[in-house]
């Protein structure tokens, strides 16, 4: 009889634990996961165009479509177009597109279905000699690597991810890898940004590029172009959980300051000094505040995709600088990798993972259970004790 009782006890407590775990799982995954259907086409309607490739990923949701376009005609550019139908399509007039002098040669149709669009251009790589180790790029800048004039490899596709490299940049290579996602998750290498089915990830890395000074540091210039609600402010948020990107407690979000939910560019303010980094190879990075470039026409001229899609885009640009004063210089490893998320809607926010929650539950729950058990034990002992043998009233 007693054996049966303890068994059923064990089963019910197991069941209880399991249900708590699955409840926390579903709470923090938002229940059912949202999933898009991805269609990937390289150079739709044209074989190996001269001057660079155009990747098109169509991500179809329940009643909307996201078009991701990634292009190496000129400076590498990612264009994101959100439409409110599942039937919108891309149309490219290749002859005009390759001439790069008129807008309207690349369209998403029907145009009335476009809810939002934004393009991000990786425009320049800047290098400076940080002689006094201040990590301020005020003077001693070397001539920049203008990424529109760099010769890019053909895009290498694997699944819904594309690799673009320039392999002759001062004896090294500069690579960009775009990954488009169907659903929520995280990529393996740090910073393991949380992505959703409404975002894509761009990793940029420098490998073996010879520095032009022993104390060289680098900056990357990004430009964001689009219609209404330009990306004109960067917000830095703190997070309390660094489980996925060790020692990083901040996330930067480049968005529009208007209240309308449009799109975002999000990153952890770190770069990595090795391809499989250890903790000490994490290097902090900073951003400048977004500002209008002095010459907006030059932005369109630098990127074939922006020229083709936008008529008169509103543009904001910022610099991301790698390394702080006192940090090792680029020459120490000759490698730098930085990752950014580009998407529509609200930027994804990290919450505590089920693992951390379980640890917290055990950490906080165990003393409570011990207290409870202790109380029960005392109660039982009191009841079981024969009252006759107890204390008699003094009087
Ligand atoms: C998408 O379509 C479904 C069913 O057609 C509808 O219930 C839902 O509200 C729609 N969602 C949006 C965001 O329009
Ligand atoms: C674009 O360039 C082509 C050839 O370079 C030229 O024939 C055409 O007239 C130009 N179009 C415009 C609108 O400038
Ligand atoms: C899609 O968006 C356009 C422009 O915002 C709007 O006119 C149209 O009614 C929308 N269509 C649907 C199905 O929501
Ligand atoms: C570095 O420090 C020296 C001495 O303080 C100063 O003369 C020089 O201008 C500084 N160089 C830069 C680039 O700031
Ligand atoms: C890159 O090419 C553009 C257009 O050909 C030119 O105007 C610009 O000066 C070049 N930049 C560099 C750094 O050579
Ligand atoms: C494309 O990438 C795969 C794996 O990422 C690699 O094995 C292959 O050599 C690459 N192809 C080219 C042409 O770079
Ligand atoms: C850079 O590349 C050139 C040609 O490929 C080679 O001759 C030279 O030795 C390389 N320099 C270094 C420092 O590796
Ligand atoms: C992604 O976009 C779809 C359609 O607009 C929306 O229903 C969904 O909530 C979005 N997901 C996230 C995580 O923002
Ligand atoms: C980079 O460091 C190496 C030693 O690690 C040194 O030989 C080389 O000269 C340095 N490069 C430059 C450009 O100073
Ligand atoms: C957004 O920023 C612009 C200047 O960059 C400013 O004029 C505008 O008032 C701001 N809007 C809001 C809602 O803060
Ligand atoms: C990025 O930094 C360089 C060098 O300091 C500067 O010339 C350029 O204007 C900066 N770009 C932006 C967008 O702030």
Residue to mutate, 112, 116, 229, 262, ligand 3, most ligand atoms under 8 Å from C-beta? 112
The whole-angstrom separation of Cα 286 and Cα 323 is 8
Cα 206 to middle of ligand 9, angstroms: 16
Nearest CA to ligand 5 atom 5: 149
Which residue from 235, 199, 252 is spatially nearest to 80, judged by alpha carbons? Answer: 199
280: exposed, middle or buried (Cβ count in 10 Å: 0-12, 13-18, 19+): exposed
Nearest CA to ligand 1 atom 6: 63
Q: Is 148 in the pocket of ligand 5 (CB under 6 A)?
A: yes
Residue to mutate, 198, 264, 347, 349, ligand 8, most ligand atoms under 8 Å from C-beta? 198
Cα 149 to middle of ligand 5, angstroms: 6
Q: Is 331 in the pocket of ligand 7 (CB under 6 A)?
A: no
The whole-angstrom separation of Cα 50 and Cα 106 is 17
Q: How many CB atoms lie within 10 A of CB 64?
A: 18
Q: Which H or E element spans position 370? A: helix 354-384
DSSP for 255-302? E-SSSS--EEEEE-SEEESSSS--GGGEEEEEEPPPB--S-HHHHHHH
Please give the structure tokens belonging to residue 14.
Answer: 């197991």
The whole-angstrom separation of Cα 87 and Cα 77 is 24
Break the chain into its structural domains and give their ranges: 2-31+358-384, 122-344
The confidence score (pLDDT) of residue 356 equals: 65
Please give the structure tokens belonging to residue 288.
Answer: 């400048």
The confidence score (pLDDT) of residue 267 equals: 95
| Residue 230 · residue 314 · CB < 8 Å | yes
In order of 149, 202, 282, 286, 287, the CA distances from 191 in angstroms are 30, 12, 10, 16, 17
Q: Is 115 in the pocket of ligand 3 (CB under 6 A)?
A: yes
Location of structure tokens 């165990």: 366
Average pLDDT per 10 consecutive residues for the chain, totaling 395 residues: 42 42 46 86 95 97 97 97 97 96 95 96 96 89 95 95 93 97 90 93 96 96 91 88 75 90 92 90 94 90 96 95 95 96 91 66 74 76 60 54
Residue to mutate, 331, 333, 335, ligand 9, most ligand atoms under 8 Å from C-beta? 331
Within 13 Å, how many C-alpha atoms sit on residue 118's CB side?
Answer: 25
349: exposed, middle or buried (Cβ count in 10 Å: 0-12, 13-18, 19+): exposed
Cα 40 to middle of ligand 3, angstroms: 25
Within 13 Å, how many C-alpha atoms sit on residue 259's CB side?
Answer: 0
Cα 177 to middle of ligand 6, angstroms: 12
Q: Which residues contact 360 (CB under 8 A, 6 or more apart)?
A: 352
Q: Is 289 in the pocket of ligand 10 (CB under 6 A)?
A: no
Nearest CA to ligand 10 atom 2: 257
Q: Is 345 in the pocket of ligand 1 (CB under 6 A)?
A: no
The confidence score (pLDDT) of residue 260 equals: 83
Rounded (10°) CA dihedral 181, 183, 188, 190: 80
- List ligand 9's pocket residues with C-beta within 6 A: 211, 213-214, 331
Q: Which residues contact 303 (CB under 8 A, 6 or more apart)?
A: 71, 73, 74, 75, 77, 119, 121, 123, 148, 225
Cα 60 to middle of ligand 1, angstroms: 13
**Distance from the Cα of residue 243 to its chain's centroid:** 16
Nearest CA to ligand 8 atom 9: 34
Peptide bond just before 110 cis, omega within 30 deg? yes
Backbone phi, psi, residue 144, to 5°:
-70, 155
Please give the structure tokens belonging to residue 121.
Answer: 């251009």
The confidence score (pLDDT) of residue 130 equals: 94
The confidence score (pLDDT) of residue 294 equals: 87
The whole-angstrom separation of Cα 39 and Cα 159 is 10
Q: Is 101 in the pocket of ligand 2 (CB under 6 A)?
A: yes
């Amino acid at each position: 009889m007693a054996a049966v009782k303890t068994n059923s006890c064990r089963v019910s407590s197991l069941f209880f634990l399991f249900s708590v775990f699955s409840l926390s799982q579903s709470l923090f995954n938002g229940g059912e996961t949202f999933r898009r259907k991805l269609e990937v086409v390289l150079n739709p309607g044209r074989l190996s165009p001269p001057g660079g490739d155009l990747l098109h990923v169509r991500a179809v949701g329940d009643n909307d479509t996201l078009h991701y376009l990634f292009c190496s005609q000129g400076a590498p550019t990612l264009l994101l177009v959100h439409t409110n139908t599942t039937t919108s399509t891309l149309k490219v007039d290749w002859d005009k597109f390759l001439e790069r002098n008129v807008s309207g040669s690349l369209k998403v149709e029907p145009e009335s279905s476009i809810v939002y669009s934004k393009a991000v251009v990786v425009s320049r790589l800047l290098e400076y000699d940080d002689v006094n180790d201040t990590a301020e790029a005020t003077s001693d800048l070397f001539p920049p690597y203008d990424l529109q004039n760099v010769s890019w490899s053909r895009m290498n596709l694997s699944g819904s991810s594309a690799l673009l490299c320039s392999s002759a940049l001062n004896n090294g290579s500069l690579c960009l890898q775009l990954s488009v996602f169907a659903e929520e998750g995280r990529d393996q290498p740090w910073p393991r940004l949380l992505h959703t089915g409404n975002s894509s990830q761009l990793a940029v890395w420098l490998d073996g590029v010879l520095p032009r000074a022993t104390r060289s540091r680098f900056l990357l210039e990004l430009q964001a172009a689009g219609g209404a609600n330009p990306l004109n402010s960067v917000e830095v948020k703190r997070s309390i959980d660094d489980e996925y990107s060790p020692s990083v407690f901040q996330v930067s979000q480049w968005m529009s300051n208007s209240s309308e939910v449009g799109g975002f560019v999000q990153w952890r303010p770190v770069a990595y000094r090795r391809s499989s980094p250890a903790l000490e190879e994490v290097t902090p990075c900073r951003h400048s505040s977004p500002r209008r470039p002095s010459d907006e026409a030059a932005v369109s001229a630098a990127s074939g995709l922006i020229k083709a899609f936008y008529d008169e885009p509103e543009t904001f640009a910022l610099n991301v600088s790698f390394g702080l004063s006192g940090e090792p210089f680029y020459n120490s490893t000759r490698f730098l990798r930085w990752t950014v998320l580009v998407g529509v809607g609200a930027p994804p926010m990290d919450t505590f993972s089920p693992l951390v929650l379980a640890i917290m539950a055990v950490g906080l729950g165990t003393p409570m259970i011990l207290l409870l058990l202790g109380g029960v034990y005392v109660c039982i002992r009191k009841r079981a004790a024969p009252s006759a043998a107890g204390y008699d009233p003094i009087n």
